[in-house]
Each structure stands twice: as C-alpha cells, then as structure tokens.
C-alpha cells in the first residue's frame, strides 16, 4: 500500500501549477470576512485529488496493469481511503493555519476564535461527502462518474442548505452545539466513522465484482 500512496502523491505533486493556483486562491480568499469558507474551500478542492487519482488509474487500461502487481483489490481500495483521510486532514490543517496566520498579521483574531467550532465541523463533513462519492466513482468509472459527481454536488449543497436552515430553526440542536460541543463532536465523529466504514465495505465489494 505504501507504493500506491507514493504513486498518488507523485501524481498530485505533478500538478504544481494547479497547486500554486489553489494556494494563491486560498490567500486571496483570506481578504474576505468569511474565513470559514477559506478552510472549506481548500479542504473540499483538495479532496478531489483522490477522485482524479482513480481516474488516472482507470485510463489506458491502468487497472489490469496495477493488479498484475503484488496488490489485490481490497488493498487498492484501502489505499484510496487512507489517501483521502490524509489529504483531507493535511489540507484542513493548512487552511486552518493559513487563516490563523493571516488574521494574526492583521491583528484581528476575534473572527478566527468565533469561527473555530464551525471550522472544526468542516473536516467531518468533507469526509462524509467523500465517503458518499467514492463508491460511485469505483462503480461507474471516470465518464459516468462525472454525472454521478454532479448529482452528489447538488445533493451536498441541498443537504448543507437544509442543515443550515434546520440549525437556525432548531433551538435544541443549536443549544447542543453551544453548550455540549463535546457530545455533538462525539456524535458527528461517530457518524463520520460509520459512514466511512460502510463506504469502504461497499467500495471493496464493487471493485471485487468489477471486470476489466
């Protein structure tokens, strides 16, 4: 699995122009008052490197070549999920510290402190979104996967809007987040782990039935 991780990291680092553009956009977005969006933007966009790595593997009959190596399909799927989690954590930390440094230089840390809880919620939300998308990507491949990905985008934004409205209307949930953040964090963490675990099992089953 280590070799697959190295391969995906090298593929990602090969897109230096896009990474530099992403870093530039992250810095520019810090001039906006909505610092939460900066962390969300960087974490969310970086998560697509996992999907693009699957597309690279699929192109030019890459799957038959990969599975001639001493790896099986379960190991391949496991590596993608490990890559997803590592990439999301690193990109979230990068966005978090860039926002902190930017606000510290401007001597305006109050908005940063006020939005720490919201920024902490971004990581599990993106992990859940990736867990929903990955089985479809394994199932339908690069071409059909784009349509599925677009549908997932629509569902994700609709769900996010619905949750935002629900939080505004539900005083119970708002009070839970405000007065019992540890309990809420535990519940969200449990949902994230369960969603990722179910997604992994489904993805392994999909890959084992897939013909090349």
Q: What string of pLDDT tens digits covers the 212 residues of the chain?
A: 778 888 888 888 777 777 788 777 777 776 666 677 778 878 888 888 888 888 888 776 778 788 887 888 889 999 999 999 999 999 899 888 888 887 777 777 777 777 777 788 888 888 888 888 888 888 877 666 566 666 666 665 665 555 555 555 444 555 555 555 666 677 778 888 999 999 999 999 998 887 76
Helix residue ranges per DSSP H, the chain: 2-13, 16-29, 35-46, 48-58, 62-66, 73-105, 110-114, 116-169, 171-179, 181-209
- With 0-12 / 13-18 / 19 or more C-beta atoms within 10 angstroms meaning exposed / middle / buried, residue 107 is exposed
What pLDDT is recorded for position 160? 54
Non-local CB neighbours of 35 within 8 Å, separated by 6+ positions: 99, 102, 103, 111, 112, 115, 119
Q: Who's near 88: CB < 8 A, 6+ residues apart?
A: 43, 46, 47, 123, 126, 127, 130
Angstrom distance (rounded) from CA 134 to CA 137: 5
Judge whether 138 and 77 are in contact, CB under 8 Å: yes
Distance CA 140, CA 148 (A): 8
């Amino acid at each position: 699995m280590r070799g697959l991780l190295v391969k995906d990291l090298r593929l990602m680092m090969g897109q230096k122009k896009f990474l530099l553009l992403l870093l530039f956009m992250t810095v520019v977005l810090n001039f906006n008052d909505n610092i939460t969006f900066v962390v969300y933007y960087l974490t969310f966009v970086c998560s697509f490197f996992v999907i693009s790595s699957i597309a690279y593997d699929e192109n030019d009959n890459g799957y038959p070549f990969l599975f001639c190596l001493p790896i099986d399909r379960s190991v391949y799927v496991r590596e993608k999920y490990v890559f997803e989690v590592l990439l999301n954590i690193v990109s979230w930390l990068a966005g978090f510290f860039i926002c902190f440094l930017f606000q510290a230089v401007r001597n305006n840390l109050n908005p940063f402190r006020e939005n720490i809880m919201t920024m902490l919620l971004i990581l599990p939300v993106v992990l859940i979104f990736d867990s929903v998308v990955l089985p479809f990507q394994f199932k339908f491949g690069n071409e059909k996967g784009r349509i599925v990905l677009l549908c997932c985008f629509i569902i994700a934004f609709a769900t996010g809007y619905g949750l935002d409205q629900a939080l505004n209307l539900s005083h119970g949930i708002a009070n839970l987040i405000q007065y019992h953040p540890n309990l809420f964090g535990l519940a969200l963490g449990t949902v994230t782990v369960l969603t990722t675990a179910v997604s992994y099992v489904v993805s392994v089953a999909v890959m084992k039935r897939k013909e090349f």
